[in-house]
Amino acid sequence: MSNKIAIITGASRGLGKSTALHLARQGVHIIGTYHSREDEALQVAAQVEALGVKAKMLQLDVGDSSRFDAFASQVADALGAYFNAERFDFLVNNAGIGLYASCAETTEAQFDQLMKVHFKGPFFLTQKLLPLIADGGRIVNLSSGLARFSPVGYAAYASMKGAIEVWTRYLAQELGPRGITVNSLAPGAIETDFGGGTVRDNADVNAWVAANTAMGRAGLPDDIGAAISMLLGEGGRWITAQRIEASGGMYV
Ligand code: NAP
C-alpha cells in the first residue's frame, strides 16, 4: 500500500480519523475532509505526517452537491501540488450524521438532510471523482449494522444506509472493468461522537450494546479503521460488490 493516496471524507474525528491513521501506518498518503472542525482536522493531519506520509485536509459539506465540481478541482490541484500525482487510489465515503427519531416523528427536513448527507452526497461526490480515481483503485462506502437489524428510532438513517448498500453493488458492476473494487463496510455501534456520543457516554446504552454483541463489548474506532484498512490492502483485491459487517457480531 506504500505511496498510495486515499481520500477519506469526515477524517477529522471518529471512524474517518482512525482510518486515516491506520492507512498512514501502512505508508498511504491522506487527503482528508472535514465539515466544521478544521482544528481537529489539522491535528489529524499532524498525526498522519508524524507517521511519515503526507496529509492534506480540505473542507467539504457532503450534503451540498452544488460544490462537488469545485471540490473535484481542489482535489486535482492538491494531487499535483502536494503529492506529485494525477490520480488517487482509495476513496472512503465515511462522513455522516446521526438521527434518532421514529417513523411517526421524523420530519421532512430531517429526512432530506439525511438523504443529502448519507446517500445523494456519496453518490454524486463519487461520480465527480471517478475521473481522478486510478484504475485498480478501491472504494469503501460506510453503511451501518442498522441496515440489517432494526431497533425502533433509526428508520430514516438506516434506510439511507440500505440505499448505500444497493448503490455499492451497481457501482461495483460499472467499475469492475477498470479494476476498481467497491464495497460497503457496515459498523455496529461504535464509541465515537456520532449521535451525540451516546454509545460511548451513556452507560446503559453501552451495556445494552455489549449484551447484544458476540464479542461482549461496544466497538471502538480502531476496530473500524483496521477493517477498512484490511479491505484496502492486498488481501481485499478480489472482494467487490459486498456488504462487510464489522460489528463484533451484533444481533447474530
Ligand atoms: P463522528 O465521530 O460524528 O464524525 C463524523 C465525521 O463526519 C466528522 O469528521 C465530521 O466533520 C464529518 N461530517 C459530519 N457532517 C458532515 C457533512 N455534512 N459534510 C461533511 N462532513 C461531515 O461519526 P463516526 O462515528 O465517525 O461516523 C462515521 C460514519 O460511520 C458515518 O457515515 C456513520 O453513519 C457511520 N457509522 C457510525 C457508527 C457508530 O456507531 N459510530 C455505526 C455505523 C455507521 P467535522 O468534524 O468537521 O464536524
Q: Report pLDDT digits (tens) over 65-110.
A: 999 999 999 999 999 999 999 999 999 999 999 999 999 999 999 9
With both helix axes pointing from N to C terminus, report the angle between 155-175 and 121-129 in degrees, rounded to the nearest 10.
20
What's the 94 CA to ligand 1 centre distance in angstroms? 6
pLDDT at 134: 98
**Structural domain includes residue 252:** no
| 36 Cβ inside 6 Å of ligand 1 | yes
Give the whole-angstrom CA distance, residue 10 versus residue 43: 13
Cβ neighbours of residue 143 under 8 Å, at least 6 residues apart?
161, 162, 164, 165, 168, 184, 185, 186, 243
| 189 Cβ inside 6 Å of ligand 1 | yes
Cross-strand pairs, 245: 186
92 with 228: CB under 8 angstroms?
A: yes
Degrees to nearest 5, angle at CA 59 with 145 and 98: 25
The model's pLDDT over 207-241, given as tens digits with 9 standing for 90+, comes to 999 999 999 999 999 999 999 999 999 999 999 99
| 236 Cβ inside 6 Å of ligand 1 | no
**Structural domain includes residue 108:** yes
pLDDT higher than 90, residue 2: no
157 carries an active-site annotation: yes
Pocket test for ligand 1, best of 15, 112, 126 (most atoms within 8 A of CB): 15
The end-to-end CA distance of the chain, in Å, is 33
From the CA atom positions of the chain, what is the Rg in Å? Answer: 17
Question: Which grid cell sits at 80?
Answer: 499535483
31 with 88: CB under 8 angstroms?
A: yes
What's the 197 CA to ligand 1 centre distance in angstroms? 11
**Structural domain includes residue 35:** yes
How many beta carbons lie within 10 A of that of residue 70, not counting itself?
Answer: 11
Pocket test for ligand 1, best of 114, 194, 245, 247 (most atoms within 8 A of CB): 194
The model's pLDDT over 12-66, given as tens digits with 9 standing for 90+, comes to 999 999 999 999 999 999 999 999 999 999 999 999 999 999 999 999 999 999 9
Helix, strand, or coil here: 123? helix
What's the 138 CA to ligand 1 centre distance in angstroms? 20
Give the whole-angstrom CA distance, residue 154 versus residue 69: 31
247 carries an active-site annotation: no
Determine the structural domain holding residue 87 and report its residue range. 5-246
**Structural domain includes residue 251:** no
C-alpha distances in Å from residue 26, one per residue of 4, 42, 84, 194: 9, 20, 19, 26
| CATH number assigned to the domain comprising residue 142 | 3.40.50.720
What's the 97 CA to ligand 1 centre distance in angstroms? 5
179 with 133: CB under 8 angstroms?
A: no
Nearest-CA residue for atom 6 of ligand 1: 10
**Structural domain includes residue 122:** yes
Q: What is the pTM of this model?
A: 0.99
Question: Which grid cell sits at 252?
Answer: 447474530
Our count of domains for the chain comes to 1
**Structural domain includes residue 158:** yes
Ligand 1 atom, smallest distance to 62 CA: 19
46, containing H or E segment: helix 38-50
Q: Which residue is catalytic, options 12, 18, 144, 229?
A: 144
**What are the two backbone dihedrals, phi and then psi, of residue 19, each rounded to the nearest 5 degrees?**
-60, -45
